[in-house]
Amino acid sequence: MKLYFPDNIFSRLIKEALPENLSREISFVPSAMAAGKIAGDSNSAGLIPTIDLIRHKDLFISKRFGITFEGSLCNSYIYFNTHEKNISELFISGDVSSMEVILAKILFEEVYESEVEIKISTDISKLSDKNFMLIGDENFDYKNYSSGISFAEEIEDAFSIPYVNFVFASSSDNLIRELNKQLENIGAVIYDKIESGDFGSGLPAESKKNIADNFSSFIFDLTEQDVEAINQLLQLPYLKGIVDDITEVKFV
């Protein structure tokens, strides 16, 4: 089984907790590419942004494991650097996928009553006087990281659902069943790594402490609430007229 993971601190923690026979099969790819890789290879599985299921409706999804954020710790942060009453532009940088682009547009319309124009930027150094969202590990290296607002908290506050950022997916339901078995007991290993400080090589000490202090926000073992949140997150683009159909999720 080939595995495709986004390259961030949270997916790397999962990799390090997996049995060696699975860990060595992991390839790290940009988040936006993961679903396409999996859809094109029947002998593969991996972590994909939840909203990518809109374009890949045939994929099977684990209802037991994924990456959910419920609080201040997250993979995406919003940085407000202007004092505009009505925000017209939001720049997005980092490991960008449809997840952030679509949900940011919906969030700003819902919470800030702003129809923002989303602009992708590849150079964070040019965004110091802009309102922007940063996705991935760059947040934890960013000098103004402490001023960031957790995208997960914003989603949770706006829609009363946890932010299920990534789901385990495959074009084969049997591979998802196999993966569910392999992932069964690694949650404790992940949390042990956090408690021992054995993670995040290369991250600033302050960021590592913040991740460890707020790691209860990270959910690996999905609950029924998380499963329902997946359905609700996928309904939002339909309710806002972004897509024409509600995505029916194929849970395993």
Angstrom distance (rounded) from CA 252 to CA 249? 10
pLDDT confidence of residue 144: 86
User: Is-contact 130 93, C-beta < 8 A?
Assistant: no
Q: Over pLDDT 70: what percentage of the chain?
A: 100
Q: Over pLDDT 90: what percentage of the chain?
A: 76
Q: Which CATH class is domain 76-159?
A: alpha beta
Q: CA angle at residue 244 from 59 to 70, to 5 degrees?
A: 60
Average pLDDT over residues 89-112: 94
Q: How many angstroms separate the Cα of 205 from the Cα of each of 145, 212, 239?
A: 13, 11, 42
Q: How many angstroms separate the Cα of 101 from the Cα of each of 13, 115, 198, 212?
A: 25, 13, 33, 28
pLDDT confidence of residue 138: 94
Tell me the pLDDT tens digit for each residue of 216-246.
999 999 999 999 999 999 999 998 888 888 8
Question: Does pLDDT of 86 surpass 80?
Answer: no
* Comma-separated ranges of CATH 3.40.190.10 domains in the chain: 2-68+163-251
The count of residues in the chain is 252
Tell me the pLDDT tens digit for each residue of 139-174.
999 988 989 999 999 999 999 999 999 999 999 999
Of 3-12, 58-67, 142-151, give the lowest mean pLDDT range. Answer: 142-151
pLDDT confidence of residue 217: 94
Write down the mean pLDDT value for the chain: 93
Question: Does pLDDT of 41 surpass 80?
Answer: yes
pLDDT confidence of residue 197: 85
Q: Which CATH class is domain 2-68+163-251?
A: alpha beta
Tell me the pLDDT tens digit for each residue of 173-214.
999 999 999 999 899 999 998 988 888 888 888 999 999 999
User: Is-contact 12 67, C-beta < 8 A?
Assistant: no
107-113 long-range Cβ contacts below 8 angstroms, 24+ apart: 107/151, 107/154, 107/155, 107/158, 109/240, 110/158, 110/159, 111/154, 111/157, 111/158, 112/86, 112/87, 113/86
